Amino acid sequence: MADLLRLTPDGLYCEAGDFHIDPWRAVERAIVTHAHGDHARRGSRRYLCSREGAGVLRLRLGPATNVTPVEYGEARTLRGVRVSLHPAGHILGSAQVRVEYGGEVWVVTGDYKTAPDPTVRSFEPVRCHTLVTECTFGSPLYRWPDAGAEFAKINAWWRANRSAGRASILMGYSLGKAQRLLGGVDPGIGPVFLHDAVATMTDAYREAGVVLPLATPVANAPLDTDWTRALVIAPPGVEGTSWMRRFRSFSTAFASGWMALRGARRRLEADMGFVISDHVDWPALLGAVRESGAERVRPTHGFTKLVARYLREQGLDAAPLETPFGSEEEGTG
Amino acid sequence: MNRFAEAVEAYEAAPDDARRVVAWRAYFEGASDADAAAAVRWLVAPWRSRFTRGALVDEVRDRAGLPDWLFSEALRGADDTAEGLSRLLGTASGERAPDLADGLAILQGGSSLGGALHLLAALDPSARWPYFKRLLGGRLGIGIDHLAEAIAEVRSVSRVSVARWLMAGSRSAPGWSGVFEGATDAAFGPLPFARIVPYSGDGGGQVADYLWPGRRIQAVRDAEGTFCWSEDFHQVAVTSSALMSALLLLPPGTVLEGVLSPDGRDMVVVDALFEAGEDLRAFPLSLRRARLRGLVREPLRCPDLIEEAPGGLEARRAHARGLGACGLILKRADAAYGARPAWQTWRSEPVTVCAVLLYAQRGAGRYELPTFGVWSGDQPTPFAKTAQGLPESERDLIDRYVRNNAVERSGPVLAVLPEWVYEIAVEEVWPSTRHRCGLKVAKAHVVRRRPDLNPGDADTLATVRRRLGLPE
């Protein structure tokens, strides 16, 4: 029997239901796990995503985009194929896609994390026969430290900068990571400002009902703002740009799972690296595979071969599903 | 033990000297006397791990509970073995980590490999790195000057005496209280260095020394040992044991001035300031040089003063490159140390090299620190990294060019194909095994871009070496 989902040049395709999941080319019908640029691309005729994620998806793809929002757990039938979305815990509105046809169930995780994050709906394990799981950090090298401890480090860095009279520029991807950072820092230390790209996405979070501390867009800050006490949340890539000049004296930090490794921290152009990831680490990945009850696993995006081989040795039918999601330039780690 | 690792991490992350010092100050302010002493001893004292790399890797492999292939593959994915082992040992075991002094006693003392790893397993994965690094025979790369400044600030004593104490610690491993003893001890200087100014055309004096590439230092022999100090009062490491032995044979109370090669293996001495407690600085140079001759032995080198008629010095300067020197220092044979007129450097004409632009490193908002290469066979080899002499407009040009034509990115560096040729003036160069071209270019500036030349017209490594008077 042919696979329910298979890779085509356009992306992951369900022939029976005639839809694509996170296609990288324009298609007729796209089911989108979340609004990050490497998963949600422009140009498709119709999009289907979670209700929570519809706002940020339109922000990303343009207001004219034809988006059908569905509730988590609400089943749609597309040409006889039952499709439903389930929380993935990655960013606002991120979803796993459950696809059922002829008694066979596949789940595509998209990007996900199982660790707690107050700014998103928690990951819910979904039972399936075949699991297509991301494995960005699928190596035993990656075990996340407790997020609370990392946020304590961020707060300590901010306090040290404040007493040294330096602005604290904390960099993270503008959709998802930035809001998690905003929700996790201690707003009692000083005023929080947001880069405009971050502010736009933060508004979308607030509209979706996520409670976040007060923060001012940098563009709205008065000219005589005292930046020395401030925490500024900005996307990576602002370092070295003229945008930074207003802060005069500052320290920069980058929050990402990649910061778990010393070499990555050393190659970084920022002063500090904090390990805050919105992906699963090695133990969480194995836990998610176990909880899905899947007999077949198709790791994608990351350490695919390593994860597949390990799972095969654990008695599962596992083989890499290679996709060109590869580009990490947007720093979604 | 976690706090010490945090200090190492903060030190590495610190973007400037001030914050490197702050990292250690924060550690020492919160450390018990026993921990502080253990930390310092471990950082400065030479220490050989009792465990081999293979044994450490195998032991962690046994504890990691992963298939062998997966362990090996993951370890390869880490940036260094210490980092890989730190992470593959798994999350903290939950046992209480001992204080640093006790922990280091276990790592250094008689415990078994299993005992050492049991200890490290109790630490956070991110806190294990410095311990694994040293167990594997690596270095943490902590500057004694930063350490000395931090301790001096915490204990309110002078930086020089702390630095001296730290260096002494490398042999006698004193306790923390040694900081105070070192401070009260009337430690033997480094002394003020004689001033050197660029040659102004006259008044330089009638004798000369060659200007050797390297770091100007004072070697200070006291009752405890010999310490080398740079002009900015940092201690400089002598890496050759033969050289160190020769320096230790000096009588206590002796201060010499010399030039230490950048690899720390070769030293040319040019002056004696003190001999066995006797201040020689008021004596004329010719006499000091005679006393110096009697003091030094191989492999320390003590060349003769060059005595020539003025025209003769000119010729010597022209030939200096052939000897590996980069010019002359003009002195007066009858002058006291440090007396006016100051010594004058009379540099050889720079050697001009045509080189191709290979990389540019990001600086203040633009890619403006270029690396130039010369040909070694048909491969361009990085040779000099300098932006000196480039006007603003040329820096902008390089920035635009590398942004639009980058073929590879490596952190803050963009690489381009070897197409643009520049004329580089090289003043100071020495052989180096660390640099791919075999040369360290210490002083160089860009003369101009050469749009009239093709990349193939740039110099080869062999012609550059010949022009610098080095064997090919």
pLDDT in tens, chain A (333 residues): 578 999 888 999 999 999 999 998 999 999 999 999 889 999 999 999 999 999 999 999 999 899 999 999 999 999 999 999 999 999 999 999 999 999 999 999 999 999 999 999 999 999 999 999 999 999 999 999 999 999 999 999 999 999 999 999 999 999 999 999 999 999 999 999 999 999 999 999 999 999 999 999 999 999 889 999 999 999 998 887 889 989 989 999 999 999 998 888 888 878 889 999 999 999 999 999 999 999 999 999 899 999 999 999 999 999 998 655 443 333 344
Question: A14 and A111: one domain?
Answer: yes
CATH of residue A199: 3.40.50.10890
Cβ separation of A265 and B91 shorter than 8 Å?
no
Question: A122 and A175: one domain?
Answer: no
pLDDT, tens digit, 9 for 90 and up, residues B129-155: 999 999 998 888 888 778 888 988 888
A166, A268, B361 from A232: Cα distances, Å: 11, 18, 26
Question: A128 and A189: one domain?
Answer: no
Question: A238 and A258: one domain?
Answer: yes
Question: A121 and A241: one domain?
Answer: no
Residue of chain B minimizing CA distance to A272: B13
pLDDT recorded at residue B108: 81
Q: What is the CA radius of gyration of chain A?
A: 20
Residue B454 exposed, middle or buried by CB count within 10 Å (0-12, 13-18, 19+): exposed
Give a yes or no: residue A311 inside a domain: yes
Give a yes or no: residue A72 inside a domain: yes
Can you tell me which residue has the tokens 């009337």? B186
Closest Cα in chain B, distance from residue A240 (Å): 4
Percent of chain B scoring above 70 in pLDDT: 90
pLDDT recorded at residue A20: 97
DSSP bridge partners of A226: none
pLDDT, tens digit, 9 for 90 and up, residues B87-132: 999 888 888 989 998 999 888 876 789 999 999 999 999 899 999 9
pLDDT recorded at residue A156: 94
Lowest mean pLDDT among A8-17, A212-221, B22-31, B309-318: B309-318
Q: What is the CA radius of gyration of chain B?
A: 26
Question: A35 and A133: one domain?
Answer: yes
pLDDT recorded at residue B200: 80
Which uninterrupted H or E stretch holds B293?
Answer: helix B285-295
Confidence of residue B34 (pLDDT cuts 50, 70, 90): confident
Total count of domains within chain A: 2
Q: Where are the domains of chain B?
A: 2-135, 196-347, 351-467
CA distance B273 to A46: 86
Cβ separation of B70 and A306 shorter than 8 Å?
yes
Q: Could you report the predicted ipTM of this complex, rounded to two decimals?
A: 0.89
Of the residues A259, A274, A289, the one at which a domain ends: A274
Question: A137 and A174: one domain?
Answer: no
**Is pLDDT at B172 greater than 70 in this prediction?**
no
Amino acid A172 reads G
Give a yes or no: residue A306 inside a domain: yes
DSSP bridge partners of A273: A254
Question: A199 and A264: one domain?
Answer: yes
pLDDT recorded at residue B175: 52
A61, A182, A205, A321, B199 from A174: Cα distances, Å: 15, 11, 12, 28, 57
Of the residues A254, A274, A294, the one at which a domain ends: A274
More confident residue, B79 or B211: B211
State the residue range of the domain holding A107.
5-142+278-326
What is the pTM (predicted TM-score) of this model? 0.69
Average pLDDT for B66-85: 92
Give a yes or no: residue A161 inside a domain: yes
Cβ separation of B70 and A242 shorter than 8 Å?
no
Architecture of domain B351-467: Beta Barrel (2.40)
Architecture of domain B196-347: 2-Layer Sandwich (3.30)
**Is pLDDT at B188 greater than 70 in this prediction?**
no
The SS3 assignment for A153 reads helix
pLDDT recorded at residue A333: 45
Residue of chain A minimizing CA distance to B87: A141
Closest Cα in chain A, distance from residue B34 (Å): 26
Give a yes or no: residue A332 inside a domain: no
**Is pLDDT at B260 greater than 60 in this prediction?**
yes
Dihedral in degrees, nearest 10, Cα atoms A209, A215, A219, A221: 150
Question: A133 and A181: one domain?
Answer: no
Residue of chain B minimizing CA distance to A141: B87
Residue of chain B minimizing CA distance to A268: B411
Give a yes or no: residue A333 inside a domain: no
Give a yes or no: residue A285 inside a domain: yes
Q: Which of B198, B158, B201 is nearest to B180 (CA)?
A: B158
Q: Which of B170, B178, B142 is nearest to B41 (CA)?
A: B170
pLDDT, tens digit, 9 for 90 and up, residues B40-56: 878 876 677 888 889 99
Q: Which of B22, B37, B38 is nearest to B153 (CA)?
A: B22
Lowest mean pLDDT among A11-15, B159-163, B408-412: B159-163
CATH of residue A73: 3.60.15.10
Closest Cα in chain A, distance from residue B368 (Å): 12
Question: A258 and A283: one domain?
Answer: no
**Is pLDDT at B203 greater than 90 in this prediction?**
no
Question: A78 and A17: one domain?
Answer: yes
Residues of chain B in contact with residue A140, where contact means CB-CB under 8 angstroms, are 64, 66, 70-71, 74, 87-88
Give a yes or no: residue A203 inside a domain: yes
Closest Cα in chain B, distance from residue A280 (Å): 15
Handedness of CA A69, A75, A76, A79 (dihedral sign): positive
